Chains A and B, each alone.
Chain A
């Protein structure tokens, strides 16, 4: 079952053009939407039970319901795809931008929004060009602008490139960035649906979420909801990476086991090596290990119940050769580098974690550092549970604690061995 990637797989060279899009049924959902009216479009999205694909997996229809009545209101598409291991939105932006644009028009129509923004990460120049071109084409063809298709509905779309900060994928930081301010998460409440862009009601949705809307309107929300498990309805894109034979994006119906995903879809581990661990939903998610998780279903709720998350659908596979301390360090370093710097525990705590890891890797670790890593993490995310409790405004800081907790939970002996060995990582690699 393919929804999002059907066109790009069937038409590998020109799926991004408006000609191909129209020839394959594109913008017919829009016509249908204008016939049935905005309430009905909203009703279909609600009925679809689609959960946001940006990482939080919050039901999109419910989010739409929070939009405050004040106008103007805005729709902002979060295309700031920066979570390490995540590269699915890039494909949707590059290969089927009109699917997104049609989804934006339908969603804006349903929400009563006349200005939408597509915020694309700065390191995505090609996707940005493709989307801008698609927007230009849509204007030229009357799918955007004034009185779209004679419906009386007006919509402008602005494509905006970010400046290269992971934190701007956090929706309120994204709004600050869009307004020209520092990309720092805002205090919530007020939530964006009440006071968002330029202090007006704003819905922020992920690229993949909105790219599903044309299909949902064409085929009905109930049809979408009937795909896959009840609470993980529809298909979703999974970005498979790491030690895997067939890395890439896969549109799957949720519900298969991790074994199916890694060994069948991903083709298993190179060289037939052993699977050691994987991250089920982006670098901020707590890790899974084969002994406990390989035969559990890859659904949003099952993963939540096991203390991690499907997040943005990024699955990073680590085989037996993985140095887990180095892997955790790499992730911690990312969060330390990307902290916006507002909250003390995140700004100072993630840096501290990184520097302790530096010592561990340099052969200067102490046994006391193991408890220290856990306690510094605990200061950012009290209790070290998942979903995390936070001493911070946003979950960036707690995200840095996930790999720490994971390696201590599953590979503590390896961490201790590293302290005992006292051999710097680079030397060890040379020996091997």
Chain B
């Protein structure tokens, strides 16, 4: 612990850590010093001069900015003197001389630090009688953000964020003096995945976000704290609505996950909530067409049909985008009402479920703050886990951790990486063997890894990669001093869903099926015997007639499974398909009955992030039309199938989980709503709780030998349903392309933009080629899950040939 230093502020003694700045110590001790440019998550610049205070020193009183002044033992500070008041009035009067004061039509009006400080510390009137400064306004600086340079008070929060925090400095100050303005570079828009953060931290209304602009007045907003379910990082958010419509999502600062930052996907995906394409009534398919139905009619039909199959011929997919309470109910319904063991929340695009939930020792996100070395052998974090990208970036760029990035192509973190290894997809096992052996190329990396604590962030770099490789990497990292593992899988609540038993090998509470089968029977009654099938096997079983019915919960295998053809064949082969969803996705279109369910911001419950941190999501708006909560649909269905799930309310289900699911003993909603619980509860809560502790093993995989290895990497804005249904984000989806290095293009006789065919075992695409010289020879990169690329399927070994008529 840092040494404590005692200072006196306005006669009150207070303590702070050595090295902390005065403004923070004062605020932590209840004395708020006004500020514009200072932000607790960024380096101080002392520019706005709003936080000037007087420090009494040996040479008398000195006016200093409290944001750049570090505390010293015995420091005496006056924040209330006449000199300080005069300075504060001065700064505010100066700031307002050129500010348009168009507060009535400004998005920030009502929650504006400039307004608030003017009320609290301002002179009350202006003596400025000249014409104010004028700029063309607003000007779009990206697809999502607009800039009003007249309102800007030049605090540099946005420019510093983009430089210091997100690492894409696409906005800067230009000119000097009174002509200074924020600007983008010529021909380069502010196309950052994190642009919305600048809107949130802007202390005036200079930066506004298109999706929220003019939608509401801040004092009319209702808000709840919740957790972003866009990815599995569990970023803390404030969801805000006006007239029962979600109009804004802001980040909430916490030490645990997101430091207040969000990706633009976290922030703007709310548009999908109120999409006109939401399903609002139950649907029954007749003669290939959906017709609207009543709940009673639809539930009766499903109950009747499901009862007609032997339980073991029915399977369930999905749940990784649901709350823990919904996932638990889904699993309980499948295992005790339908009585089937065939359950999978993943679509074979993640990791082994036991490894994902049970790996030990497991790293938490705050471990990145103290890590000496980080080995990142997983997805491109900037594309798939943007908030985690920010945390790793901070660890490497600000906190000095060694960062080793192993990936088939350049990633967003390469500029702060101390070591980079690029490899051809399929050869990962060989790279790992060289790394673990004594290959001279990797001596420096081995030395870096010898410096603990080590955090290994492991996952599949692309969709085609063997998930066992991530486990082998984990086994390698585990052997280093204080080595901890952070396994990555992306769906919002995938860890929670697996923790609730939505995998063939797991039962609720982070326990293995084999170990907990009998114990759970004492709670739930008889359970199906034997291990069930995973997603791929379920789809194969449906295709081949070994399984006959499928229940889907918020999942779209036709788009999300690595082999879309298999998924389509599985759905096609099923005699009966039920979907619980919000949209008619390609998979839902194949269903016989569709139940419309409530989603994010419409339900309350808990979710568990990639660290095993349980947090609360809350309800803010009513779900549209006749949509119902998933648990209540399943409960109703169970009753019609002569069962009883006891799912009477989300809170009641949460209580049941606490009792039934070992790792969740002690996780109560009360504990999550207040105090430290707002940072979530990191499982396991206490020593001695019986739950799965999975030791990863190196399965000694063989490399795939091929002329071309396919890297099928995800991009942030892909064809996932929530992006497609959020117009602001949908517009940002990239065009599909086939990426090769320049030499490979030459070898194939292709010019950039000309068509190329990539063909693998499960499909093919023909797309324009583009140059990416971060790709090694033999590596071909195709962005996954775009309309134009999804037919390729996930292979490793592929062929590449000129397309078109050539």
Contact = CB atoms under 8 A, between A and B. Distances in A.
Interface in A93-131: none
B86 A348 contact: no
B91 A347 contact: no
Contact of A391 (B52, B175, B179, B180): B52
Contacts of A345: 49, 90-91, 94
Contacts of A372: 127
B98 A348 contact: yes
Contacts of A389: 63
Contacts of A356: 130
A344 B178 contact: no
A351 interface: yes
B49 A350 contact: no
A379 B176 contact: no
B541 interface: no
A152 to B, nearest CB: 34
Contacts of B173: 182, 341
B326 interface: no
B520 interface: no
Contacts of A391: 49, 52, 63, 87, 90-91
Interface stretch (B40-48, B435-443, B478-486, B780-788): B40-48
Interface in A194-209: none
B153 interface: yes
B46 A344 contact: no
B177 interface: yes
Interface residues of A, number: 36
Interface stretch (A29-37, A75-83, A331-339, A420-428): A331-339
Given A348-B97, A379-B94, A341 B50 contact: no
A344 B47 contact: yes
A344 B94 contact: yes
Interface residues of B, number: 34
A175 to B, nearest CB: 16
Interface string B545-558: 00000000000000
B63 A344 contact: no
Contact of B177 (A337, A368, A378, A392): A337
A352 interface: yes
A187 B45 contact: yes
Contact of A348 (B47, B50, B87, B178): B178
A368 B68 CA distance: 36
B97 to A, nearest CB: 6
Interface string B97-131: 11000000000000000000000000000011010
Interface of B: 44-50, 52, 63, 65, 68, 83, 86-87, 89-91, 93-95, 97-98, 127-128, 130, 153-154, 173, 175-180
Given A341-B180, A352-B128, A390 B90 contact: no
A165 B45 CA distance: 21
A368 B175 CA distance: 32
Interface string A358-394: 0100000000100010010011101000000111110
Contact of B176 (A187, A341, A344, A368): A341
A342 interface: yes
A344 B91 contact: yes
B176 A348 contact: no
A305 B93 CA distance: 33
Contacts of A390: 63
Interface in A312-347: 336-345, 347
A192 to B, nearest CB: 16
A54 interface: no
B643 to A, nearest CB: 68
A349 interface: yes
Contact of B46 (A341, A350, A380, A393): A393
A349 B94 contact: yes
A344 B50 contact: yes
A355 interface: yes
Given A187-B46, A340-B176, A391-B91, A347 B68 contact: no
28 contacts: A165-B176, A183-B176, A187-B44, A336-B177, A337-B177, A338-B176, A338-B177, A339-B176, A341-B154, A341-B175, A341-B177, A342-B45, A344-B48, A344-B91, A344-B94, A345-B91, A345-B94, A347-B94, A347-B180, A348-B94, A348-B97, A348-B178, A352-B130, A372-B127, A378-B86, A382-B83, A390-B63, A391-B87
Contacts of A368: 127
A402 to B, nearest CB: 18
Given A182-B173, A344-B48, A356-B130, 20 more contacts: A339-B177, A341-B179, A344-B47, A344-B94, A347-B178, A347-B180, A348-B95, A350-B178, A351-B177, A352-B94, A352-B97, A352-B128, A379-B86, A379-B91, A382-B83, A389-B63, A390-B63, A391-B52, A391-B87, A393-B47
